[in-house]
């Protein structure tokens, strides 16, 4: 039986959420910025240690806050499925401090309002636009220490434009999910591939 894992990708406008997802699934990048106005669901499949997983990746439009209740989630079409996602990817632009503050706010709200065991839900903070390294607002190490030590989240930097560390970030997220007990019988993680026919990427 194939298990489905739901991953919500959240971030401020223009940080590259959709670009990251499309690089992972389609190996595609567009120079033209198109704002995400509605929630979009991608359904790739991956093979993890010999087991197949169907991923349900939610490309979430910018939201003012994480839904604090099920009723709020269902009243806002952009938030459908966000509260009960199995994992979260919070994306910010390494050149934009406001986008980092947005991620900081959303992470705190996930911890406060998430249904079930909020402390155990896998959260990966992703700093996109690494190709613009010289314009960053804070050194990588300082951000990494804050996210990993204080927030207790995973941290990866990537460049959606150049497809750099895109596969790594999904491996990192699934690694966190496995380590936190989503699957009890895996001691190591190796994504053998994302089936091309189903829009997956070789890891």
| Tens-level pLDDT at each residue, the chain (203 residues) | 677 889 999 999 999 999 999 999 999 999 988 899 999 999 999 877 777 788 999 999 999 999 988 888 888 888 888 988 999 999 999 999 999 999 999 999 999 887 555 457 899 999 999 999 999 999 999 999 999 999 999 999 999 999 999 999 998 898 777 666 554 443 334 454 454 444 544 44
Residue 18 CA to residue 61 CA, distance in Å, equals: 10
Cβ-count burial 125-156 (b if 16+ within 10 Å, e if not): bbbbbbeeeeebeeeeeebbebbeeebebbbb
CB contact at 8 A, 15 and 90:
no
Other CB atoms within 10 Å distance of the CB of residue 2: 8
Domains of the chain in sequence order: 3-193 (3.40.50.300)
Exposed (0-12), middle (13-18) or buried (19+): which is 64, by Cβ within 10 Å? exposed
Position 17 scores a pLDDT of 97
Closest of 43, 50, 40, 49 to residue 4, by C-alpha:
43
């Amino acid at each position: 039986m194939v298990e489905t894992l739901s991953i919500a990708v959240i971030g401020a406008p223009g940080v590259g959420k959709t670009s990251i997802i499309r690089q992972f699934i389609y190996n595609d990048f567009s120079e033209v910025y198109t704002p995400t106005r509605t929630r979009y669901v991608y359904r790739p499949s991956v093979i993890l240690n010999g087991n197949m997983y169907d991923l349900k990746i939610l490309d979430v439009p910018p939201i003012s806050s994480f839904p604090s209740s099920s009723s709020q989630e269902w009243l806002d079409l952009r938030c459908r499925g966000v509260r009960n996602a199995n994992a979260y990817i919070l994306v910010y632009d390494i050149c934009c401090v406001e986008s980092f503050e947005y991620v900081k706010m959303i992470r705190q709200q996930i911890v406060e309002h998430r249904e079930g065991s909020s402390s155990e839900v896998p959260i990966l903070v992703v700093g996109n636009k690494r190709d613009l390294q010289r314009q960053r607002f804070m050194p990588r190490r300082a951000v990494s220490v804050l996210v990993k030590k204080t927030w207790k989240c995973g941290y990866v930097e990537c460049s959606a434009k150049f497809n750099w560390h895109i596969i790594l970030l999904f491996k990192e997220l699934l690694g966190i999910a496995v380590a936190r007990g989503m699957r009890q019988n895996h001691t190591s993680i190796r994504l053998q591939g994302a089936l091309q026919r189903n829009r997956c990427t070789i890891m």
